[in-house]
Amino acid sequence: MAYESTSKMQNIVKVPVWRRRLLLIAVLLSFAALLVRSVYLQSLHKSFLQKEGNARYSRTLSLQAYRGKILDRNGELLAISSPVETIWANPTDVVIDQVQTKAMASLLNMRTADIDKKLANPQREFVYIKRRLPPDLAAKVMSLSIPGVYSEREYKRYYPAADVTAHLVGFTGVDDNGQEGFELAQNTWLSGKSGSRRVLKDRQGHIIEDLEAVKVPQDGHDLMLSIDRRIQYLAYRELAKAVETNKAIAGAAIVLDAKTGEVLAMVNLPTYNPNNPVNVKGKTRNRAITDTFEPGSTMKPISVSAALESGNFTPESKIQTSPGTLSIGPATIHDSHPQGLISVGQVIQKSSNVGAAKMALTLQPEFLWGYFNQIGFGSPTHIGFPGEGSGRLRNYKTWRPIEQATMSFGHGISVTLLQLARAYTVFANDGELRPVSLLKLNEAPIGHRVYSAQVANEMKDMLETVVQPGGTALKAQIAGYRVAGKTGTAHKLGAHGYEEDKYVASFVGMAPASDPRLIMAVMIDEPSNGEYYGGSVAAPVFSKVMADALRMLGIPQDAPNNNVVIPTDETNAEPEVKETT
């Protein structure tokens, strides 16, 4: 036995000392490398580890700011945001089976192929599945507990007045940015600033810890318009009836506060529903502000007032209009009914083109142009609305006599309906032109004088005769109120000159005439149902809207209730006609 033990010990191979030391050194170096790597990753390269961890569990969530409300002057809602939910996913985290895909597709009314396509790219970390869902529907999707699928709070704009205020308020896009109207013009004011917060989420997408509020959202500001929603509805209703009855292609109407210049109503047709803005091409244009047209005889009070200011005429001055035509070079100006020798007041009442032209031709071009310019023609009103037109007023140095004559009754000059409505504030405010506003004002703005108070009031008296027997606008009368206004009928300008059978019918008026509180301008584009004169097509819209608006605002009557003269073919004849040939 002793021999065997000794033999085994002799068979054990002794490891050289240098090899044992080399092994020890290798182990120690390995530990040192691990220690250095640990120190490097946890201190010098800590950001890399944090980034990798954050990429898997940390999320920065957007906190959308609440978009401000749009209100009418009385605080009635015109636009408000309601909460909705958006479903989105991080394809790198999504774990989903076919059953869950079909369930999600069914809830979202989508095809499973579309969902698979959205989730197919593992390189993307963010993709929308569907936006602006009702919160209860989004909750059903989230109840499927699909890892990597998340919901986020957003807001959807709602417009209670819908198509009635569409051209003013406008609408927002899918990202809640303004696309039209005041939603666009005041987007920065309304939208505020979005915020964000960092959270930790588990693999199921549940928030397990709020880390910090990176940025607090700043809600948007409310916007109060000058519009009175009640008057807006009145104007829309009556304009829609007129456009339909007269088979017109379009129409627009404006109601102004005569003292402050605030726009109480502004409506346009055709219109659209901003709650579902699809197929809106050509319908979003606010014609009352953007489109220009030749004003026709509604221009006569402006040019005749300039003639009165010259001192060459008084309201009683006589103008010879026989034989109902006036030739200037190769062109001829017509009156539809020869009037003979008439007063300046009758030039307005009868709407004589010949009379207005003769008065204008006595003035120096620069003098007449100065009044057109002072009253705002050829320049935007600066009302702060996108796309506002400036109209066209050519420099007086280029005027020929025929052009000076035709501009006196609204041909050869173009204006917007807003410019035209504002121009009549001079007759409601003793000759002062008021600036206009679509935002509610705290006090009346300061205007600037265009005409003397005497001339302005003389013209206002003449404009009253237009709606009385012998005038062109008996259909503009209002029971219990005196009315002053002017009709306009102009041929439309086409590619080859004036179109014989296409007209723009208009009326601008104010009430009560004793102390005007409201001004209304109406324009009907291409009436084609037999009637096309301003007194027949546009004046009735004025009468119906103004009657209800005056009573709604509690404005005292200035006439007996039996002051309306029923129009007949004879008393309501329209002498406004074909201006030039």
Q: Where are the alpha helices (DSSP H) in 40-177?
A: 46-57, 98-108, 112-118, 135-142, 166-169
Q: Comparing 8-12, 88-92, 316-320, 559-563, which segment has the lowest mean pLDDT?
A: 8-12
Quick check: pTM over 0.75? yes
Please tell me if the domain spanning 60-223 has the same topology as the one spanning 229-552: no
pLDDT of residue 57: 58
Contacts 24+ apart (CB under 8 A), 314-317: 314/344, 315/343, 315/344, 315/345, 315/458, 315/461, 315/462, 316/343, 316/344, 316/345, 317/343, 317/344
Q: Which of 385, 72, 383, 82 is nearest to 233 (CA)?
A: 72
Q: Comparing 77-91, 341-355, 408-422, 465-479, which segment has the lowest mean pLDDT?
A: 77-91
Q: How far is CA 482 from the centre of its chain?
A: 33
pLDDT band at 196 (very low <50, low <70, confident <90, very high): low
Residue boundaries of the structural domains of the chain:
60-223, 229-552
pLDDT band at 192 (very low <50, low <70, confident <90, very high): confident
> What's the CA gap between 394 and 377, in Å, rounded?
10
pLDDT of residue 289: 96
Beta carbons within 8 Å of 313's beta carbon, 6+ residues apart: 307, 344, 359
- The CATH class given to the 229-552 domain equals alpha beta
Cα dist from 418 to 184, 312, 424, 570, 573, whole Å: 20, 31, 10, 32, 28
pLDDT of residue 579: 43
Q: Please, are residues 263 and 545 in contact by the beta-carbon 8 Å criterion?
A: no
If one compares 500 and 103, the residue with the highest pLDDT of the two is 103
Residue 577 has pLDDT above 50, yes or no: no
> What's the CA gap between 437 and 136, in Å, rounded?
42
Beta carbons within 8 Å of 202's beta carbon, 6+ residues apart: 57, 208
Give the pair of three-digit tokens for residue 73: 């002057």
Q: Please, are residues 164 and 233 in contact by the beta-carbon 8 Å criterion?
A: yes
Which one is catalytic: 81, 226, 297, 343?
A: 297
Q: How far is CA 284 from the centre of its chain?
A: 8
> What's the CA gap between 172 and 241, in Å, rounded?
29
The total of other beta-carbon atoms located within 10 Å of residue 272's CB is 20
pLDDT band at 48 (very low <50, low <70, confident <90, very high): low
Q: Where are the alpha helices (DSSP H) in 152-268?
A: 166-169, 181-185, 187-191, 229-245
Give me the sign of the Cα torsion angle 508, 511, 516, 517.
negative
Beta carbons within 8 Å of 427's beta carbon, 6+ residues apart: 301, 456, 457, 459, 460, 463, 484, 510, 516
Q: Please, are residues 428 and 355 in contact by the beta-carbon 8 Å criterion?
A: no
Give the pair of three-digit tokens for residue 137: 């529907």
pLDDT of residue 52: 61
pLDDT band at 294 (very low <50, low <70, confident <90, very high): very high
Could you read off the pLDDT of 334-367 as tens digits, one per residue? Answer: 998 888 999 999 999 999 999 999 999 999 999 9
- Give, rounded to a whole angstrom, the gap between the first and last alpha carbons of the chain: 146
Q: Based on the residue annotation, tell me whether 414 is a catalytic residue of this protein.
A: no
pLDDT of residue 56: 56
Give me the sign of the Cα torsion angle 322, 328, 332, 334.
negative
- The CATH class given to the 60-223 domain equals alpha beta
Q: Comparing 33-42, 161-170, 503-512, which segment has the lowest mean pLDDT?
A: 33-42
* Average pLDDT of the chain to the nearest whole number: 88
pLDDT band at 148 (very low <50, low <70, confident <90, very high): confident
